[in-house]
Chains A and B, each alone.
Chain A
């Protein structure tokens, strides 16, 4: 019956149907145990893959902990950097600088990223060439190397039209532009995955398109959007190259100001220390990595708590 009709619909559906049919037909006959074995093998392959990723993470953490162990203490967080007394040096201004930078980045990417994603998914006419251009553009920007954003930041943000000078705001803006495509892409995927029935129902009940987006689509898409923001912020925290060009210092002993003073950042500090001849500096660099991981852990936990708070099955 069904097999005789030409199944309408996309090639996708046809592939899925063919797959289901093959799956069904292959399980006719006495194949129970082989299936179970096949399943077990498959799951173990998956677990090997997962294990490889976790092993990498654990490897990095362990290496940093073991190498940086001699200098691991609260002094890392409370002390200023020092070149003469390396054993007592700390990362305080760099931590504060990083926190300020990331706060700026978050403030910028959430409205801009979500706004762009909403526009592209909900309101843009996808057949228009300019919307396709924007789409291509964003995807392309996701791959532009971070150092190019550094050059952009130096030419346009720290100097040029914006002329913010070498301050935290310039660094934040540069980093925000760098990670914005990631947020937009993830937010788009999240919004795309909200079933159209929700939108249609809302519109049918008389809501305006924006009300629909704000009250129905966005809350449903928030977990996915938060994933994108977490990924973006994680990347931004660790970026070194653009900050070096945009004027991050490697030695400051004061708390920075958003708009009017030099600043430092953790990854810049770590990179600089790793290249110094003195062995103690390299231990300090590894200890700095631990501090960075702690900062990342804390920020991620906050975001995860937020995401769990909003997650609900549709």
Chain B
């Protein structure tokens, strides 16, 4: 408890603290810190539970299906009588849907964020921000139905020359997913942009920059870590999105396909369909859920490790 230099008492009548440490043991503080640490550690407990739930049945699965065949095979038809367990078709499906979603959501979301933080007046902000939050709140079921029943026919009406095949389309499903992650990207990026101190902006203006240049060359780079965090959050959400692809992307192709105008099955849609379908538990067909789930988990983990590195490199500490 005694820390710091010993200060010799000067004249009497002046009380001097002997140390720079706290005067009391502060048990309350320690208790609160313990509680807070427990909150944070809960996330570890959740991850452990997820790993246990996913990995144990996967081990049983991989005893039957060699992991090499699983990871490199290009035909995915686990419930057929001539079953094939090559997971690439649904991995590619997931990645393609995510890519289209990001192509939609990143520009739109960043435009919204930049507009909200730099150009919108307080009145406009108080209206637009809640409206974007309502977009976030739309149930994914509704967006999926909207994409299937409205967007798809509409797209075919507007662009009939494109090779639309059938009723389901990867492109439309990707746009649907992009639509729901726009508020996420926009909101986190907006907070990051707003956190750039006014001093930085004012300095740039003082040096003669116009609003466009200040925004794009000074403010945006300063908020880069937050923007990257926003994009990664959006990407994670897009990869994990289940309902929209379940409804609007159809059943997909057992063979590897890059056709954005055809139906596609993502990893999440596969898990959702199989878990709520009529397949009996305890079979290989059912255990594919856990294998695909584990793969999904590992993929998002890898993406996040890379992203955290990126964010840390660009993090700006003000003051």
Give A contacts to B, CB under 8 Å. 10, 12-13, 15-16, 19-24, 26-28, 35, 38-39, 42-43, 45-50, 52-54, 56-57, 59-60, 63-64, 67, 111-113, 115-116, 118-120, 123-124, 133-152, 155-156, 177, 180-182, 184-186, 189-190, 192-193, 195-197, 208-210, 224, 227, 230-231, 233-235, 237-241, 244-245, 266-267, 270-271, 274, 285-286, 289, 292-293, 296-297, 299-301, 304, 308
Contact = CB atoms under 8 A, between A and B. Distances in A.
A271 B141 contact: yes
Given A54-B131, A140-B297, A148-B297, 10 more contacts: A53-B109, A53-B132, A59-B151, A140-B301, A144-B50, A152-B49, A185-B229, A238-B141, A270-B141, A296-B138
Contacts of A22: 213, 217
Q: Is the interface of B mostly helix, strand, loop or mixed?
A: helix
Contacts of B18: none
Contact of A189 (B54, B128, B226, B243): B226
B237 interface: yes
A119 B29 contact: no
Interface residues of B, number: 118
Given A50-B128, A196-B319, A181 B43 contact: yes
Interface stretch (B84-92, B112-120, B164-172): B112-120
Contact of B146 (A46, A59, A177, A193): A59
A149 B316 CA distance: 34
A111 B186 contact: no
Given A23-B207, A134-B44, A151 B53 contact: yes
Given A116-B40, A193-B191, A300 B115 contact: no
Contact of A156 (B49, B192, B215): B49
A53 B186 contact: yes
Main secondary structure of the interface of A (DSSP, over half): helix
Interface of B: 22, 26, 28-29, 32-33, 35-37, 39-44, 46-47, 49-50, 53-54, 107-112, 114-115, 119, 126, 128, 130-143, 145-146, 149-151, 179, 182-184, 186-188, 191-192, 194-195, 197, 200, 203-204, 207-218, 221-222, 226, 229, 232-233, 235-237, 239-243, 246-247, 267-268, 271-272, 275-276, 289-290, 293, 296-297, 300-301, 303-305, 307-308, 314-319
